[in-house]
Structure 1
Amino acid sequence: MWPRRFQSLSMHLSIATSNVTVVGASIEARANCAKPQGCSNCVKTSGCAFSKIAFTCGPKSSVAKDQVTSNTGCPQMNQMQSVFPAVNGQSKAGIITAPVAAEFNRIANHIFKGETTSKTSGRHTSDAWLKANPTSKRDAENKKSHISSFPNGKISKTVWESADYSDLDIKNMCAVAIALGNKAGKTEGAFVVQSPYNAPVCVNHFRKNTGSCYPVGVKSPKAKLGEPCDVPGEDNDD
């Protein structure tokens, strides 16, 4: 049997070799994923995924919710890159502009938590709505877009299903609606926005008071992406 010091040295050498192998594989993965251009080319490359934040291709993470890992999510990235074009020397296509990001940050609390003065104000995720209204039952749900509604007076409260949408997904959809409204010169407007499920959703944004952003109804719009919505009804967003 080897002396203990040689056993220890052998173990450290084995660990070092293993670490070098892991680092080498990581560098190779980053290099491999840096080549594809666009979301669709990225996700069809083994081990690669497209970032919903940086709009670049990189190694796939098993835990990250900020990556597109299949072509189903690419149409949303494509719309964002169309609505937010690249700015030479400053940002890649898809990066949310500062004014749009500021408006979303202003209304985010209303969307995700709601107002303390009312249990039915804001709360446009299923988790937020049910936390304040635990006995409420869904009265409609779109299985393709994962948009649901709950009874809320004469007009239902529409929400993003929390099990299917991350906060980032909602931010990206609202950013598109805000930008389209800005382009149209509107302080309130509903537009057809792509979801992470390649199932367009009618998304409304308004600036008055607390401001808000939410899906309008649960039906799928027939209008084209980026166009004003043709889904009837409004959310009772008090």
Structure 2
Amino acid sequence: MSNCKNCNEPLSGKYCAACGQPAQLKRVDSHYIIHEIEHILHFEKGILYTIRELILRPGQNVRHFLSENRSRLVKPIIFLIVASLIYSLINHFFHIEEEYMSFDGNEASATAAIFAWVQAHYGYANIIMGVFIAWWTKIFFRKYGYNIFEILILLCFVMAIGMLLFAVFALLQGVTRFNLMQYGGIAALIYSAWAIGQFFNPKKAASYIKALIAYLLGSLSFVIVAVAIGIIIDLIFKK
């Protein structure tokens, strides 16, 4: 009998009874790499299944994820980062002018640098923006009792589908050469308001209206704070 190399507990089988570590690790090869990628993205549970469920029944599925089962859907933060990466790759491949977030101004300013970072890192930027949207959503739907972190998980799922919608329209624009990104923005906004409203109360029209307002106010707050930080940095360094 040997001890687990992870927690030092005595081993009595192929796996440690205390921590689940295998008694003998398999060699790292192509199968290992593929399995790790599948595990991170939960391909074994179905990333296409996640997308389908979030498109058809977003409110029901996110509530189920929060309160009952967190293994059916792709992990929300990873899902958002991957969806944003897909959009960025398509946008970069077709050299499509950015429609999702842009800034026209002094290219040497800190504000321009901040928005350039946003355009290059949509995944992380969406998480930050999600915090602002979550704050406004919490205010509009405070009677439902969800905390800010649960709402942020909801928004990670919602914004991920939004980025995939952007990716679809970016792909269509790249192939057809028609300017379609504005329609992608409209589709993503409509979906976001619908999905958030479904999460809180799908039977009330007011839920969708409040969700739309919260999303817009959160996005606007993100932009205002980013501009304000850029201006403050410029003022400090110009002195």
TM-score by length of 1: 0.28
Normalising by structure 2, we get a TM-score of: 0.28
Higher relative contact order (CA 8 A, sep 6+): 2
Whichever structure has more helix as a proportion of its residues is 2
